[in-house]
Amino acid sequence: MSTLTFTMIKPDAVRAGNIGNILAMINQAGFRIAAMKYLKLSEQQAGQFYAVHAHRPFYPELVAFMSSGPIVAAVLEKEDAVASFRTLIGATNPADAAEGTIRKLYAANVGENAVHGSDSDENAQIEANFFFSSLERF
Ligand code: CMP
């Protein structure tokens, strides 16, 4: 059964000119794009999106980075979307990411790691709703 996940192409990958390469990998892996937008988060919005990490030492750095430039936000649909997408992007730290994954190819380090992917079906819904209204989802 098709399910949803949520992704962002982060400011590092946008700055490096990798939007097209990453979208091509997402397309080739069989995901359907259910929603997509190109935008820049404010510090307040980035802090709200990552509020679950507010107690972590890297939170200020994460918020500053995620509001440092434009991102691509998207909702993706596929069978077992959350797990399938996490396989496609690789480990959070690109040093641990498998060969051929998006983070292995395009991420520099654990902070600037090219893409975000939801970690559960529940969070995929919460994250998709953060960015998209029902009128923006197809
Ligand atoms: P993401 O999947 O977007 O979810 C939380 C983010 O926090 C994660 O990707 C990383 O970019 C970031 N993160 C996790 N661990 C660290 C760390 N040790 N230092 C800096 N950033 C981190």
> Does position 2 have pLDDT exceeding 90, yes or no?
yes
Question: What DSSP string runs through 80-120?
Answer: THHHHHHHHH--SSGGGPPTTSHHHHH--SSSS-SEEE-SS
Q: What is the pLDDT of residues 21-44, one digit of tens each?
A: 999 999 999 999 999 999 999 999
Closest atom, ligand 1, to C-alpha of 117: 2
pLDDT at 1: 83
Model pLDDT, residue 46 = 98
How much distance in Å is there from the Cα of 135 to the middle of ligand 1? Answer: 30
pLDDT the model gives residue 31: 98
The predicted pLDDT at position 125 comes to 98
Structural domains of the chain ordered from first start? 4-136 (3.30.70.141)
| Ligand 1 within 6 A of CB of 70 | no
Q: For residue 116, indicate whether it is catalytic.
A: yes
Tokens 């292995």 correspond to what residue? Answer: 104
Identify the band that residue 20 occupies on the pLDDT scale cut at 50, 70 and 90.
very high
Tell me the pLDDT tens digit for each residue of 81-109: 999 999 999 999 999 999 999 999 999 99
* Ligand 1 proximity of 58 Cβ (cutoff 6 Å): yes
Pick the atom of ligand 1 nearest to 50's CA.
Answer: 5
Q: Is the CB of 113 under 6 A from ligand 1?
A: yes
Mean pLDDT over residues 110-121, rounded?
98
69: nearest Cα among 21, 119, 26, 112 = 112
For residue 127, the model assigns a pLDDT of: 98
CA distances to 8, 40, 82 from 29, rounded to whole Å, are: 16, 26, 13
What pLDDT digit, counting tens, does each position of 43-53 carry?
A: 999 999 999 99
Q: How many angstroms is it from 50 CA to the middle of ligand 1?
A: 10
pTM flag (> 0.95) = yes
φ/ψ of residue 79, rounded to 5: -65, 130
Q: What is the pLDDT at residue 36? A: 98
